[in-house]
Structure 1
Amino acid sequence: MSELHAAVGPSGAALLDLATGRWTLLDPIAAGLLQLPDSEPERAAAIEEAVARWAATGADPGQVRDGLIRAAADFDRLRAGRPLHHARPGPAPTVLFAPAARPALRDRAAARIGLAAALLLLRALPILHVVTVARAAALLPGRPARVRDAEAVLAAVRAAGTWWPGRVACLEESLACYLAAALTGHRVRWVLGARFVPRGAHAWIEADGRVLGQDEHDRLWPYLPVLTISHSNR
């Protein structure tokens, strides 16, 4: 059965459907639908409770009710009886930008292999199977990467990416770093997430509680982490 992952933050909720790779972003009102009970009487009561709560802030009760009922029906179709995995909330991480570490020869070799594998996986397989491969890589022996270890791998992946004629976006780069780090005996976290303003999905790696290698011109953090792959396979 394909997986559906979700995370809730102050701006709403983000859902990732691994069956299709599609993202769904819900506003704070619709985000409450993730906790709706299954039975119709309890669901109706929960919707009315949400209507009353938002009406107290000045929202039109009829519009809120109609919107919630429509959104609940859409969510039921999206979920289709599948289990919903909720990301664990945590503190906002420290975000680092241009990597400062210099890659060693081992990092460069692992980066070439990791990038080639990431490009092949993402072009040949649905995202659900790519995540399965990433979880399998998490079983390789290794120790948690220090920031300088992970930054060295990231710098090596970016150098290897200059030889690729196509575009190496955040998804390809982050997966390549995750796989390359595993090949060097280090563990980083591969994270898929989204943000609400402006709306967008993103992928990145983390080491020692820090987000690594972000664009100097994109300081609009945080993204909401929805799916994290690490040595614990969460």
Structure 2
Amino acid sequence: MSDFVVPSSVHVTRGERGDMVLLNAHTGQWHLLNETGRVVFDELRRTGDLGCAVTALEERFPAVDADALRVDVDRLVTDLVERDLLRLARHAGGVSVALPERQDVSAGPGSRALAVGCLLVAVVLLRLPLRASIAVVLRLKRNLVRRPATVTEGLAVLELAHAMSRWFPGRMACMELSLTTVLMGAARRQGLEWCFGHSRDPLTFHSWVESGGVVVQRGDDEPVADTYQRVLAV
């Protein structure tokens, strides 16, 4: 009986170094699993059984403590579920997966309307050359912002941006979400930084939000501080 299923929106390709690249066609986000993660994902894709995935890893790494392997598999599966790369099968109600706690993103109609409006503005701005988008953001912040946002305020806005983005049928990745969050902060008179950076190996690019130099991110977001070097903050 399967515990997990891989959504049809997830497309998989094997890398040359034993790793695996995943594309979530629903979110437009790319994900990279190292060889260990690939072993677990392959087994879950083949059998859907969490126990089989743990066994496959134990057989591949017999010298590693079995309890430590199980903890690592639980953490990986939690991340995969949070990124919608893996889903609980409907009959798998007894499977325990430790999902991180989320902040309450309930909001009144006014906040939801503001989030949707900022999302649409962000999508339009990102169709312009980046320099034009940055110029608009700087002008909006200069005219609207009255004080810096706290990290808590920034996280609340980011959660709302994520919640409202789920209905959007187009691309909704780091650029769209980070810009929407910054625009919502400005509309609330709170200043957030729109940041751009890159990692070195492999060379990838990312956009995120900071508050006073502190990264604003949810528990299941891609790590920023240890992965990306900031190049620009707007």
In the superposition, the TM-score normalised over structure 2's length comes to 0.51
Question: What root-mean-square deviation, in Å, do the aligned CA atoms of Structure 1 and Structure 2 show?
Answer: 2.3
Which digits, 9 at most, give the CA deviation of each residue in 1:82-115, with x for residues without a partner? xxxxxxxxxxxxxxx9863535435433211111
Match of 2:209 in 1: 205
Match of 1:126 in 2: 129
Alpha-carbon distance change, 134 to 118 in structure 1, aligned in 2, over 3 angstroms = same
Q: Secondary structure at the match of 2:170?
A: coil
Match of 2:149 in 1: 145
Distance in 2, Cα, partners of 1:217 & 1:157: 13
Judge conservation of contact 1:99–1:212 (CA < 8 Å) in 2. Answer: no
Match of 1:156 in 2: 160
Judge conservation of contact 1:99–1:151 (CA < 8 Å) in 2. Answer: no
Alpha-carbon distance change, 216 to 197 in structure 1, aligned in 2, over 3 angstroms = farther
Distance in 1, Cα, partners of 2:135 & 2:193: 15
Equivalent residue runs for 1:1-234 within 5 Å: 100=103, 102=105, 104-105=107-108, 106-123=110-127, 125-139=128-142, 140-213=144-217, 216=220, 218-219=222-223, 221-229=226-234
Distance in 1, Cα, partners of 2:174 & 2:102: 15
Distance in 1, Cα, partners of 2:174 & 2:182: 12
Shift of 1:141: 3.1
Ranked by relative contact order (alpha carbons within 8 Å, sequence separation 6 or more), the top structure is: 1
Match of 1:9 in 2: none
Distance in 1, Cα, partners of 2:101 & 2:126: 25
Report sequence identity in percent.
33
Unaligned runs of 5+ in 2: 1-99
Distance in 2, Cα, partners of 1:107 & 1:151: 14
Judge conservation of contact 2:159–2:218 (CA < 8 Å) in 1. Answer: no
Judge conservation of contact 1:190–1:205 (CA < 8 Å) in 2. Answer: yes
Unaligned runs of 5+ in 1: 1-96, 230-234
Q: Secondary structure at the match of 2:126?
A: helix
Distance in 1, Cα, partners of 2:106 & 2:191: 16
Alpha-carbon distance change, 148 to 219 in structure 1, aligned in 2, over 3 angstroms = closer
Shift of 1:151: 1.1
Shift of 1:158: 0.8
Which digits, 9 at most, give the CA deviation of each residue in 1:94-137, with x for residues without a partner? xxx986353543543321111110001112x1111011111111
Q: Secondary structure at the match of 1:155?
A: helix
Q: How many residues end up aligned between the 2 structures? A: 132
Distance in 2, Cα, partners of 1:99 & 1:134: 28
Distance in 2, Cα, partners of 1:217 & 1:174: 12
Distance in 2, Cα, partners of 1:196 & 1:114: 32
In the superposition, the TM-score normalised over structure 1's length comes to 0.51
Which digits, 9 at most, give the CA deviation of each residue in 1:10-33, with x for residues without a partner? xxxxxxxxxxxxxxxxxxxxxxxx
